[in-house]
């Protein structure tokens, strides 16, 4: 596997902006999803058993999605915090210390490990 170059200053600035964009869109998503995960009308007099099960499954899926997005939001916030504390800390793999690589970070600005470590 080829080793990645450390981030250049301009790449780092692009990624910092990507993190902000990601943070915004996750916050908007979570606003919408919070409502979906909460409100499920289980009024038994109005609903058949099958649609009740349906509604519960849909709610469970909505809650799983919500959790996934909440976890991602936390990762994005942590990445922003790390970057803002010291931009040099953003970029190297947290496990092996090698550069994660611009292309991987451009696709997933919140990752903290390189491809090799994520497979290990």
Nearer to Zn ion, 73 or 93 (CB): 93
Q: Which residues, 90 to 109, sit near Zn ion by CB under 5 A?
A: 93, 95-96
**Per-residue DSSP letters for 47-96?**
S-HHHHHHHHHHHHHHHHHHHHHHHHHHHHHHHHHHHHH-GGGSSB-TTT
Nearer to Zn ion, 27 or 95 (CB): 95
Structure-block tokens of residue 91: 């970029």
111 binds Zn ion, rule: CB under 5 A: no
Dist. CA 22–CA 27, nearest whole Å: 8
CB of 84 to Zn ion, least distance (A): 22
114 binds Zn ion, rule: CB under 5 A: yes
Which residues are near Zn ion by CB under 5 A? Answer: 93, 95-96, 114, 117
């Amino acid at each position: 596997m080829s080793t990645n170059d450390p981030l250049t200053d301009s790449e780092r600035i692009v990624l910092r902006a990507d993190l902000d964009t990601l943070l915004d869109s996750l916050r908007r998503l979570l606003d919408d999803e919070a409502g979906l995960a909460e409100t499920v009308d289980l009024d038994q007099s109005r609903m058949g058993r099958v649609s009740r099960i349906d509604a519960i499954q849909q709610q469970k899926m909505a809650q799983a999605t919500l959790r996934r997005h909440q976890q991602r939001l936390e990762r994005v916030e942590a990445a922003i915090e790390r970057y803002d504390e010291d931009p040099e800390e953003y970029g190297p793999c947290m496990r092996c210390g090698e550069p994660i690589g611009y292309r991987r970070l451009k696709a997933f600005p919140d990752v903290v490990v390189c491809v090799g470590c994520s497979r290990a």
